[in-house]
Structure 1
C-alpha cells in the first residue's frame, strides 16, 4: 500500500478497543443510497451510493478469512501417541477456528464490479510474525490482496425478490454499493475428514437411514469397533454443525471489523442458499455458478462444486470416493500440507514436528473409502443426508447512512467510528 494515501481511519481501526467491537456490534442495515418504500421506517437516503474502497474491502475480507500464520496443530492423540495427531487438513491458520483444523471452507464475495474468490484455505504463512506474535498490518493486507481472483464481471446475479432473497431483505441484500461476503463450505470434504477422524479413534458407522450395516467392514475390526458402530446420520449432522460454526465465525470476525472501521452491515442468512450457489433451477439466476445435480431420491438439488475453483471431495469431481480419500491424504501429507516435513513452520524443529504424524496407510484409506463409497452408492451423492456444498450465513458491508439513524433513533445507535467514518476514511470527499 502507498503510505501517503492510507487514510487516518486505518490507524483508528488498528487502535480500536476490542471490547467496543464486542458490545458495539449491531446489525446496521440502512446504507447510503438505500430506500425503504413504506411502513414506519419509510425513508429514502439523500446520499449517493458509495461502494467500499479496495482498502476498506480488504480490511473486511482479511478479518473474515485472513491467514494468521502457521496452524499450531493438535499435540497428542490418545490412540496413537506418541505420534502427532494428524487430523488437520491445513498447515495455515485463519482468523476463525475449524474443527480439528479441517478448514474446508473458502470465501467468495461480490460488489458492483464483479464476483470474486478470496483463496486462503491452503495458503502458507503470508506475512512474517514478530517476536511479540503480531503482524505488520500493511504487509498482511498486501499479501491478501493478491489472493483475490475475479470470476465474473458485474454483481452476483441474484434478483432482489422472493424466493431468492427473504422478503425482509429484498430492499438491502446484495444491492448496488454494497459488498456481499459469502463463505462457502465443502461439506463433502468435511464429512470425509470426519470419517478419517473417527476411524483414527476406532469408530466406524452403520447406515441407519437404510437400516443396514456397511458390507465388508468387519475386515477392519482391528482398526475400528465393528460391534458398536455409530449412525451415519450422526456423522453428517455433526459435520454440518462443525462446518456451520466455521462459516459463522468467519462472518462474525468480519462483523467485528465493521465496528472498528465504522462501516454498516450485518451478518444474516436471509438468502436462499441454492439460489446463491446457482442451484435454483432458473437459468436467469446463475448465482455463483456451482454445478449441481438432481435425483428422484432427493427432495432438493445437490451442489457439488465450482470447477477449477472450489470442487467438493465427491464425484463427479473425483472418480470415486477412494480417489477423494487419496486427494484428502495428499492435502494433509503432500507438498504444503501440515504433515509434510518440507512445509515451513515456526517450530524450532519444524521438520521434526511435521514428520512425527503417522501417514494414512493403504489399509486406513480403504477403511475410510469403504464407508464413504457406501454413502455415495446408496444415496447417489456424498454426503447422503446433507448437501455436498453448504453456504450459510453471509456478511454484508456498506457505508452507513447516519441521517436515517439520527431520524429514527436516540443517540447511541452507532459508534464513534461510524460517526467519523467519512471524515477519517474519505478525507477531502468521496
Structure 2
C-alpha cells in the first residue's frame, strides 16, 4: 500500500501528517470512553452522553495495523566470515511482514476484534500492492478480514465481572458498550518447532543438548544425537529456559503500534488486562461457570503417575490443570491450527508440515515469484540457489525432540502453551472530553480536540455520525 494515496478524508490526511515523535511523546492512556461514568469521591463524573461506537473507517485503520504491510527482506549472511562455512540463511516461517517485528518472521499473532455488533476473528490478508491506501480500500480490506465468531460482545455474564474474570477496577471501564477491543492470541507451536531447528543449525561443537527440566533433567529425546557427536554434551539447555521461544513479543509490539495510531487519530487507547485468558478462550476448567466463550479446542493430557513429580498434579481429577488451547474452528474452517496433535496424527507429521511450509512444493522457499518481488533483477533466484537450508540431521533431531515432548508430557509444547494469550488487550474508543477538560492539565491533545470535526464532520468525505447526532 502506498501512503502517498491516502487522500480524500480529512481524518486520514491529518493522521498521515501527524508527527511520529509528537505522538510518542504525548501518548497517554485515556481510559474513560464517551458515555462512561466515573465514581471517584469528590472527583466523580457522570456522563450526559450515550456511548459512541467507532465507525467502520476508524476500525478499518486499526484493523489494517494487524495485517500484512508488505514483504520482508532476507538481508542475511550466507557464510561464516571466519572460515567461509555455509550458514543456514532461510530461517523465516513467512515472508509477509507486518508493522512489528517477529522472531524468524513467525507472525504467529492472531487478532480478535470485539465491539457492540459482535466478536470477529481478523484474517491475515496478503499485501495489496499498487492499491490506494484510502478510505474505500481500508474499509474493503477490513470487511475481507472480519470473520464473525460470536454475534455478541465477548464477555462474561452480567454479575460475573469480579475476579477471576476481570482484574480490579478494569471491570468498570473495560470492554463496555461503545468500545472496540483488540485481543491478540499467539500460536507458539510453529515457531517452537522452527526455533528448535534454528538452534540446531549452530556449527559443530556449538549445538546444545536439550534437557527436560520437568523430567529430572533427562535428555529430551537426544541421546542418539549426543552419542554420534551431533550435539555437544558440554552445552546443556533446559526446555524451560526456552519458554515460548520469544514468539510472544510480536503481540506486544503490534499492540503498541496500534495504541500509537489510535492516539494519533484522537481516540482513547488503553492497553490493559483482558478477561482471564483461560475464561476468554473457553478452557474446560471454567466453561461450566462462564460458558464456551470463544470456543477454542483444548487438549487435556492424560494423567500419569510421574506427573505427581513432573508437574505437581496429585490426582487424575486435577489433570485439567495442564489443559491448553490448540486451535479454533468456525463454520467448519480451522481459523487457528496449532502444529501438534490432535490437529496432526503425530508430532512427526506436525514437524514435517512446518518443514513443508518452508521447503515443500508449495513452501515459501520454492516460490520464485515471491522472491522476484522482494529482490531486484535475478537476486531473488540467486538467494534461493545460494542460501543454505537445513541439514537433514537438523530436521531429524528436532523431530525426535518434539516427539519426546509429546510422548512424555501428553501435549506439545509442554513448557508453554501451543496457543499463548498474552493477557492484555487494546481498548479503543471515543473519549469523554468533558471529563478530561474538567480534571486534568493537558488531558487531551489537538488530535483529540479535533477528532469529531475531522472524522465525523460534513466536509471532505467525512460525515456527521448518526450516533453522535442522537
**Aligned runs of 1:94-173 on 2, under 5 Å?**
94-120=98-124, 123-128=125-130, 136=133, 141=138, 142-143=140-141, 145-159=143-157, 160-173=161-174
| Counterpart residue number, 1:218 | 224
Equivalences, count:
416
What's the secondary structure of 2:219's corresponding residue? coil
**2:249 and 2:175 mapped to 1: Cα distance?**
23
Q: Which position in structure 2 is the counterpart of 1:309?
A: 335
Distance 1:154 1:100, change over 3 A: same
2:14 to 12, 15, 23: 12
Corresponding residue for 2:62? 60
Distance 1:260 1:78 in 2: 44
User: 1:132 — aligned with what?
Assistant: none
Q: Give SS of 2:169's match.
A: helix
**Pair 1:388 & 2:418 matched:** yes
Q: 1:364 to 1:406 in 2, by over 3 A?
A: same
Q: Which moved more, 1:398-407 or 1:265-274?
A: 265-274
CA RMSD of aligned residues (A): 2.7
2:461 matched residue in structure 1: none
Looking at structure 1, the residues matched to 294 and 155 of structure 2 have their Cα atoms a distance apart, in angstroms, of 8
1:243 partner SS: coil
Aligned residue number for residue 37 of structure 2 = 35
Point out the more displaced range, 294-303 or 177-186.
Answer: 294-303
> In 2, are the aligned partners of 1:341 and 1:352 still within 8 Å (CA)?
no
Q: Which SS does the other structure have where 1:396 is aligned?
A: strand
Q: Deviations over 1:200-244 (max 9, x none)?
A: 22334111221211345424745433442311111125x1xx223
Matched, 1:203 2:208: yes
* Alpha-carbon displacement from aligned partner over 1:119-141 (angstroms, at most 9, x marks no partner): 22xx5433249xxxxx7455863
Aligned pairs (5 A) from 1:228-267: 228-236=235-243, 239=245, 242-267=246-271
Shift of 1:288: 1.8
Counterpart in the other structure of 1:294: 300
> What TM-score do you get using the length of structure 1 for normalisation?
0.88
1:273 is displaced (CA, Å) by: 1.2
Is 2:299–2:323's contact at 8 Å kept on the other side of the alignment? yes
Deviations 1:270-291 (A, max 9, x none): 4311122221522433232111
Q: What is the aligned partner in structure 1 of residue 397 from structure 2?
A: 367
Alpha-carbon distance, 1:81 to partner: 5.3
Q: Which whole-Å CA distance do the structure 1 matches of 2:60 and 2:362 have between them? A: 25
Task: Give the aligned partner of residue 437 of structure 2.
Answer: 406
| Contact 1:96 1:246 survives alignment (8 Å) | yes
Deviates more, 1:269-278 or 1:352-361: 352-361
Rate the CA distance shift 1:216–1:402 in 2: closer, same or farther, 3 A: closer
- Tell me which of 341, 346, 352 is aligned to 2:382: 352
Measure the CA separation in 2 of the matches of 1:403 and 1:26: 17
8 Å CA contact 1:110–1:180 kept in 2: the answer is yes
CA contact (8 A) 1:98 1:243 kept: yes
SS state at 2:365 partner: coil
| 1:371-426 C-alpha deviation (Å, 9 max, x unpaired) | 0111112222111122221112211111111011112212x111111111111111
Give the TM-score normalised by structure 2. Answer: 0.81
* Aligned-partner Cα distance in 1 for 2:54–2:188: 31
TM-fit CA distance, 1:188: 2.1
Between the aligned partners of 1:44 and 1:326, the Cα distance in structure 2 is 58
Q: Kindly name which structure, 1 or 2, has the bigger radius of gyration based on alpha carbons.
A: 2
User: Unaligned 5+ residue runs, structure 2?
Assistant: 304-312, 314-318, 459-463, 466-470
Q: Matched residues in 1 for 2:54 and 2:398: separation?
A: 46
